[in-house]
């Protein structure tokens, strides 16, 4: 997840019912049009289990709705208006508390990815392979951008891309396979191969490795 406006995380919200600090949580994903969206990526929620609306809510929900649930106090960023959210379990939202530091790092990664995607169309004429490599090696980048980057490797015809890619652990075998194919083509086009013993690049027709002296 990434948040467009990180300043929101600096806001302080105090629960009017229990004085506990309300914690910034990721808003749950909602289907567009069902009317449940809060129009915010972040919700400040009182997760204090001694908060009266939470403590007393179980019985209220049981009596009024006939199912298991209670309420959590919630405020939206930039507002002190108190909202009551129905939750089905004490665990609701505890898994979506936002750590501002983690969020900052995720935002930074996201911005780098966006910059790399924006640079893709011109990086070949600029002779700059770095956006291509950034996308290929970024496991969190969107697959479409990474695929495009893998395709562009062949156009750069730059053998220096081999080591970082070989040293990278791909979470998805599909990217590992796609890069393997491209690197194979790249080596062939340059009449090179990788020594199976020391992984150094050698001439395709070599019978003995220049680096480790192994017989091939
Ligand atoms: Zn509270
Ligand atoms: Zn070798």
Ligand nearest to the backbone CA of 45: 1
CA distance 56 to 143: 47
149 within 8 A of 132, measured Cβ to Cβ: yes
The bound ligand whose nearest atom lies closest to the alpha carbon of 57 is 1
pLDDT at position 77 is: 93
- What counts of helices (H) and strands (E) characterise the chain? 6, 6
CA of 6 to the centre of ligand 1 (A): 24
Of all ligands present, the nearest one to the C-alpha of 44 is 1
Task: Tell me how far the alpha carbon of residue 166 lies from the centroid of ligand 1, in angstroms.
Answer: 52
Domains of the chain by residue range: 6-96, 101-203
- Closest ligand to C-alpha of residue 203 is 2
Residue 57 Cα to ligand 2 midpoint, Å, equals 70
- Find the ligand nearest to 82 CA: 1
Tens digits of pLDDT across the chain (216 residues) = 667 778 888 899 999 999 999 999 988 876 554 455 778 889 999 999 999 999 999 999 999 999 999 999 999 999 999 999 999 999 999 999 998 888 888 889 999 999 999 999 999 999 999 999 999 999 999 999 999 999 999 999 999 999 999 999 999 999 999 999 999 999 999 999 999 999 999 999 999 999 999 998
Q: What is the 3-state secondary structure (H, E, C) of 87-148?
A: ECCCCCCHHHECCHHHHHHHHHHHHHHHHHHHHHHHHHHHCCCHHHHHHHCCCCCCHHHHHH
Helix axis angle, 143-156 relative to 173-189, nearest 10°?
10
Residue 58 burial by Cβ neighbours in a 10 Å radius (0-12, 13-18, 19+): middle
CA–CA dist 72, 75 (Å, integer) = 10
Counted residue by residue, the chain has a size of: 216
| CB contact at 8 A, 175 and 181 | no
Centre of ligand 1 from the C-alpha of residue 201, in Å: 64
How high is the pLDDT of residue 30?
66
Query: Among all ligands shown, which has an atom nearest to the Cα of 15?
Result: 1
Distance 137 CA to ligand 2 centre (A): 26
- Residue pair 38/26 in contact (Cβ under 8 Å)? The answer is no
SS3 assignment, position 213: coil
């Amino acid at each position: 997840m990434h948040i467009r406006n990180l300043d929101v995380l600096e806001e302080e919200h105090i629960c009017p019912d229990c004085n506990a600090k309300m914690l910034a949580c990721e808003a749950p994903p909602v289907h567009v049009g069902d009317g449940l969206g809060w129009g915010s990526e972040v919700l400040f929620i009182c997760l204090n289990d001694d908060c009266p609306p939470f403590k007393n809510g179980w019985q209220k929900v049981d009596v009024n709705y006939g199912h298991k649930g209670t309420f959590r106090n919630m405020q939206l960023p930039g507002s002190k208006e108190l909202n009551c959210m129905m939750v089905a379990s004490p665990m609701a939202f505890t898994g979506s508390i936002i750590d501002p530091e983690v969020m900052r790092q995720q935002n930074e990664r996201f911005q780098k990815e966006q910059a790399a995607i924006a640079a893709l169309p011109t990086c070949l004429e600029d002779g700059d392979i770095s956006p291509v490599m950034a996308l290929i090696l970024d496991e969190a980048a969107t697959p479409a951008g990474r695929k495009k980057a893998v395709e562009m490797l062949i156009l750069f015809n730059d053998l220096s891309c081999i080591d970082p890619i070989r040293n990278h652990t791909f979470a998805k075998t599909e990217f590992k396979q796609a890069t393997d194919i491209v690197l194979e083509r790249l080596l062939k086009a340059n009449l090179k191969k990788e020594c199976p013993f020391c992984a150094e690049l050698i001439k395709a027709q070599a019978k003995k490795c220049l680096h480790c002296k192994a017989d091939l």
